[in-house]
Amino acid sequence: MSFKKLLFVCMGNSCSSPMAEAIMQNLMVKTSIYWEVDSAGLRTWNTGRRPDQRCLRVLREHGLRSDHFCRQFSTDDFEYFDYVVALDEAVFKELQHWSTATSRSNCELLLLSSFGRDGKPAFIHNLTPTSKQRLFRAAYYQIKECCKQLILLQKVDIVKYELPSSDEDAYYANQTGIAEGIRSTGGQRTPSNVELNYSKSTLKTLHCPPSMTEMSCCQEEGTRRKLCQKCGQKFLATL
């Protein structure tokens, strides 16, 4: 899978964005995708400092850590990163203004809360230096869920491999159809008749012999990975 660079941005780079950076880095390791992940802030308030102690405490509670030192966002980041992800709408609108003001913007600007379950917008607490610890804990789960959906939408097609009546038919089958799949629902899997595929119009129904070993039926197409339903379930379970 192609290497990508992703940057999370909030106002001060001490609360939401370093938390999102640590969460995404952990998800990258668990799913073997390995993008470069960083975070930054629009303001200079915390430049050179460590993230907020409440942020670091929540990360430790989940077995994560952050070696990040807060830094300010610059227009060079538009050119270096493939994805710049805003943690709230105010940051997103300001980044849009920055992006239109520079001719070097080569990245895709995203709003993290737009990656909710079932394609619906999600709610993420806007963390500030005055936020209570419980809001940091709630934001952790909100950010993680959106990061999982971002990975799925950008990188993975989980396909239901339909098995014909015999090994011979399976081997020589060359039919087209609509891919079906599963969608992650907070650790639960939806029934097989529920739609998952995020780029359905570009996919074909795939056929593989029952004798194929696990993962041998899976493949990469361009910058995306296609997984059979069994392997797809394992992939989603790792998130």
Same domain, 20 and 132: yes
* Last-in-domain residue among 155, 185, 213: 155
38 touches 8 (CB < 8 A): yes
Residues 187 and 111 both lie in one domain: no
**3-state SS class at 87:** coil
Q: Please state, rounded to an integer, the average pLDDT across all residues of the chain.
A: 76
Return the top range by mean pLDDT from 109-113, 161-165, 218-222.
109-113
For 50-63, letters b (16+ CB in 10 Å) and e give ebbebbbebbeeee
Same domain, 83 and 133: yes
- Considering the entire predicted model, what is its pTM? 0.70
> What's the number of domains the chain is made of?
2
Q: In this predicted structure, what is the pLDDT of residue 175?
A: 36
What's the domain range around 14?
5-155
Do 104 and 25 share a structural domain? Answer: yes
Residue-wise pLDDT tens digits, 19-58: 999 999 999 888 778 899 999 999 999 999 999 999 999 9
- Residue range 198-226: average pLDDT? 45
Q: Where are the alpha helices (DSSP H) in the chain?
A: 16-31, 53-61, 76-80, 89-101, 133-155, 167-172, 229-238
Q: Indicate the residue among 155, 175, 192 that finishes a domain.
A: 155
- The stretch 72-86 carries a mean pLDDT of 95
Whether 32 and 50 map to the same domain: the answer is yes
Q: How confident is the model at residue 157 (pLDDT cuts 50, 70, 90)?
A: low
User: 179 or 24: whose pLDDT is higher?
Assistant: 24
* Residue 169 pLDDT class (50, 70, 90 cuts): very low
Residue 37 and residue 98 in one domain: yes
Q: What are the helix and strand counts (H, E) for the chain?
A: 7, 9
Examine the domain organization and report whether 121 and 198 are in the same domain.
Answer: no
Per-residue pLDDT at 146 exceeds 70: yes
